[in-house]
C-alpha cells in the first residue's frame, strides 16, 4: 500500500445507500469504507454495481458476527468456516483489500489448545482460497471481550503460520480488554513494534486496523462511543502510526461514522 487510508465502518450517515456513498466520502476527503456483512454475506446486483464503480476508493469487509471457529458442534464450525470463506469470496468479487472477523469464543477452553484448533481451521480456509485463486488478506481481529479468543499475542501467533493471514488490530478492543491499558504513545508503539518484529515489514506496509471510542468494564468491551465521550487517546495512536510509517487501512467504528473518521484523518495530516 502506498499510504494510510481512512475508512468509515459502513456507509456514511449522509449517504442514501451505496449508490452515493463513495461520492459522499470523496466530498469529505475520506478514502473508502468497510463493507459490513455483519448479518450475512449478501448484496444486491445494484449494490454490487455501486461498489464496483467506486473509482479509487479502498474497501475492506467485516465478516458476519455469527462466526465461532471454536463452536462445540461440527455443523456450527462448518458454517463458521463458510462465513469466512463467503466474506473472502465477496472480497474477490468486489475487489476488497482485506477481510476481518471475530474468530472464536473460548467457551472454557485453554488458549494453548485453542491455538492448535485455530491453526487447523484457518488452514482449511486458506487451502480452500488457494484452490479458488483468492489471495485477499484474511484477518482475525483482536477482540474486545475477555470471553472472545483474540488477544494481540494470539492473533500474531496464528498469523505466523500463514502467508495469507495478518492481524486486524482493533486498538479500541485491545484498550478495552486490557482494562484501560494501551492508551499511550509508548503503548501504541509497543503494539506496532511487536507487529513488525513478529511478522515483518509486510505487516506494517499492509495494515488493517479498527479504532473507535469505547466503553468498557472488567469484562472488556461494552459498546462503542464517539471519541469526544471516551478516554481513547486517538492522537497518540496516530502519532505512533506516523512514526512507524504504517500503510494500509484504518477503519473508524465510532457511532458518528464519518465525523470521527474525518477527525482522525485531519489530525493525521497535521503530523
Q: Is residue 204 within 8 Å of 211, Cβ to Cβ?
A: no
Q: Which is nearer to Zn ion, 12 or 150 (CB)?
A: 150
Site for Zn ion in 6-35 (CB under 5 A): none
User: What are the grid coordinates assigned to 176, written together?
Assistant: 478495552
Q: Which is nearer to Zn ion, 50 or 169 (CB)?
A: 169
What is the smallest separation between the CB atom of 35 and Zn ion, expressed in angstroms? 13
CA 190 – CA 176 distance, rounded (Å): 17
What is the smallest separation between the CB atom of 144 and Zn ion, expressed in angstroms? 8
What is the smallest separation between the CB atom of 92 and Zn ion, expressed in angstroms? 21
Q: Which is nearer to Zn ion, 5 or 50 (CB)?
A: 5
Q: Is residue 261 within 8 Å of 253, Cβ to Cβ?
A: no
**Contact flags string 96-135 toward Zn ion, x per CB under 5 A:** ----------------------------------------
Q: Is residue 134 within 8 Å of 92, Cβ to Cβ?
A: yes
What is the smallest separation between the CB atom of 212 and Zn ion, expressed in angstroms? 10
**Contact flags string 137-176 toward Zn ion, x per CB under 5 A:** ----x-----------------------------------
What is the smallest separation between the CB atom of 177 and Zn ion, expressed in angstroms? 13
Residues lying near Zn ion in the complex (CB under 5 A) are found at: 141
Amino acid at each position: 500500500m502506498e499510504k494510510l487510508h481512512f475508512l468509515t465502518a459502513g456507509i456514511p450517515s449522509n449517504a442514501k445507500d451505496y449508490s452515493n456513498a463513495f461520492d459522499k466520502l470523496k466530498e469529505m476527503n475520506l478514502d473508502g469504507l468497510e463493507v459490513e456483512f455483519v448479518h450475512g454475506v449478501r448484496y444486491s446486483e445494484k449494490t454490487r454495481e455501486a461498489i464496483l464503480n467506486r473509482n479509487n476508493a479502498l474497501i475492506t469487509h467485516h465478516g458476519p458476527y455469527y462466526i465461532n471457529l471454536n463452536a462445540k458442534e461440527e455443523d456450527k464450525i462448518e458454517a463458521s468456516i463458510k462465513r469466512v470463506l463467503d466474506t473472502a469470496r465477496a472480497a474477490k468479487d468486489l475487489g476488497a483489500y482485506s477481510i476481518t472477523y471475530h474468530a472464536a469464543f473460548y467457551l472454557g477452553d485453554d488458549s494453548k489448545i485453542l491455538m492448535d484448533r485455530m491453526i487447523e481451521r484457518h488452514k482449511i480456509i486458506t487451502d480452500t482460497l488457494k484452490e479458488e485463486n483468492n489471495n485477499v488478506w484474511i484477518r482475525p481481529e483482536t477482540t474486545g471481550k475477555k470471553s472472545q479468543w483474540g488477544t494481540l499475542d494470539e492473533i500474531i501467533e496464528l498469523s505466523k503460520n500463514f502467508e495469507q493471514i495478518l492481524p486486524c488490530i482493533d486498538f479500541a478492543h485491545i484498550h478495552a480488554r486490557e482494562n484501560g491499558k494501551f492508551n499511550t504513545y509508548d503503548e501504541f508503539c509497543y503494539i506496532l513494534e511487536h507487529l513488525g518484529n513478529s511478522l515483518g515489514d509486510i505487516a506494517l506496509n499492509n495494515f488493517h486496523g479498527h479504532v473507535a471510542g469505547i466503553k468498557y468494564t472488567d469484562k472488556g468491551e461494552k459498546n462503542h462511543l464517539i471519541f469526544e465521550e471516551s478516554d481513547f487517546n486517538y492522537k497518540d495512536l496516530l502519532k505512533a502510526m506516523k512514526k512507524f510509517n504504517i500503510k494500509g487501512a484504518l477503519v473508524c467504528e465510532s457511532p458518528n461514522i464519518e465525523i470521527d473518521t474525518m477527525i482522525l484523518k485531519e489530525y493525521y495530516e497535521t503530523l
